[in-house]
Amino acid sequence: MIEIIAPAGPQALWTTLLMTMVLGGAAAFATGRAIALTWRSPGQLLLYCAMLAAVVGFLDYALFENPVIPGGRIVAALALAGESPGAALPDLAGALAGFATTFAFVLAVALFAYRLTRSWQIGRQYGFAFVRKGLLFWQERPSG
């Protein structure tokens, strides 16, 4: 399991977690907040978070030589897929596991920030019709 997050070994685990959680988490929170503040669809977070996960993976490789997203393995598996798809799919899945893990974390943080910001917006801008209910939810204001 640790090979997915830190392929360079256990010593690289802390740098990967630091890059993903601190840098990627902060960027994902800002992304989710920006999408909500501009009243855009949360579906756009999928594209932005995919790009953000790729950047975090690249920075982890460039700064700490930890290939979380092994580009060479991905390209080799895609090349092999034309000849033997059955043999290429397990290797491709293993190569994309680091990206998927980073993407899942970044997307979760961005969706949390989106919902938090949207709840605040609804309560503030439409206070005559809605009231905040907790941190992430709102409900219609009771009439009367």
Express each pLDDT in 36-62 by its tens digit. Answer: 999 999 999 999 999 999 999 889 888
Which pLDDT score, from 0 to 100, does residue 75 have?
82
Cα distance between residue 80 and residue 110, in whole Å: 35
Asked whether 131 and 139 are in contact (CB, 8 A), the reply is yes
pTM, two decimals, is 0.87
Across 23-41, average pLDDT = 97
Across 6-29, average pLDDT = 85
Angle at 7 between CA 55 and CA 51, to 5 degrees: 15
Asked whether 88 and 81 are in contact (CB, 8 A), the reply is yes
Which pLDDT score, from 0 to 100, does residue 6 have?
67
Backbone angles phi, psi at 84, to 5 degrees: -140, 85
CB atoms within 10 A of CB 71: 13
Q: What is each CA distance from 132 to 30, 51, 126, 137, in whole angstroms?
A: 22, 32, 10, 6
Grouping H, G, I as helix, E, B as strand and the rest as coil, residue 1 is: coil
Backbone angles phi, psi at 35, to 5 degrees: -65, -40
